Amino acid sequence: MLNPDSVVPEATPGRFLERLESGPPAMLSSRCRYFETPELIQTDGGRVSRWTGTCHSMHAAAPAATTPLPDPATLDYVTGANIVVPRAFVDRIGLMPEDYFLYYEEVDWAFRRRGIPIELVPDADIYHRGGTAIGSGTHSRLPGAFSFYFNQRNRVRFVRRHFPARLPVAAAWGVAKAAQVLLKGGVEPAYAVLAGSLGLPPPRAVVERISDPAARALAFGRRGQLR
């Protein structure tokens, strides 16, 4: 699986294939660099807070030339922009859940992997045009309202699914995040954070961005019915 705004060096698919053919089933990924600034790492996978559901991307914005790959045993997930799994993984775990929409699918998938290891394949880097598809944030840019809404809604959805007793903490974190965004990015992004965190109606501009009725229903359910 690969994000559409990614660039893959010629040698990278072969590196993944070599690993698939030489070892037991695993959730595979590799270093993801920023396409615009290839000397910087976008992510080497990440970890998730069991209290708030927030994701921490490993080595974000660190120099690629001097930063070694992390121990994959310390990772909770790898980026959904760049995942390779064998058929045996899908047969055992199933496909990604579709009810998140845009964020946290890969995090949930990794949490359900039942002891199957995560591995980062060396020398198989990809280059990702960070945030160009849906307005996600980068090391130098705040996310837009569209990205904020789905990221926070899905963060809470993830906590509800895996750590339901900690939902009040996750919601409180969202309120604090909305206040922070209000100071930095304005009213609409702040409301998007609050709406996603507390289950409020999404901003109209966020709903209108998805024009296809089927996609809108998948993304929002009844909340996608504009009046």
At residue 225 the predicted structure's pLDDT band, cuts being 50, 70 and 90, is low
Task: Please name the residue ranges forming H helices in 61-166.
Answer: 87-93, 105-111, 145-162
Q: What percent of the chain is predicted at pLDDT more than 90?
A: 81
| CA nearest to 105, candidates 79, 144, 127 | 79
* 84 beta partners: 28
- Which CA distances in Å does 29 have to 22, 140, 151, 225? 15, 24, 21, 37
pLDDT digits (tens, 9 = 90+) for 152-189: 999 999 999 999 999 999 999 999 999 999 998 889 99
pLDDT digits (tens, 9 = 90+) for 89-147: 999 999 998 889 889 999 999 999 999 999 999 999 999 987 666 666 555 567 889 99
pLDDT digits (tens, 9 = 90+) for 44-77: 999 999 999 999 999 999 999 999 999 999 999 9
pLDDT of residue 141: 65
In this model, does residue 226 exceed pLDDT 60? no
Lowest mean pLDDT among 8-12, 40-44, 206-210: 206-210
Residues 6+ apart with CB under 8 A from 111: 48, 76, 77, 162
In this model, does residue 196 exceed pLDDT 80? yes
In this model, does residue 220 exceed pLDDT 60? yes
Q: Rounded to whole angstroms, how far apart are CA atoms 98 and 108?
A: 11
pLDDT digits (tens, 9 = 90+) for 69-86: 999 999 999 999 999 999
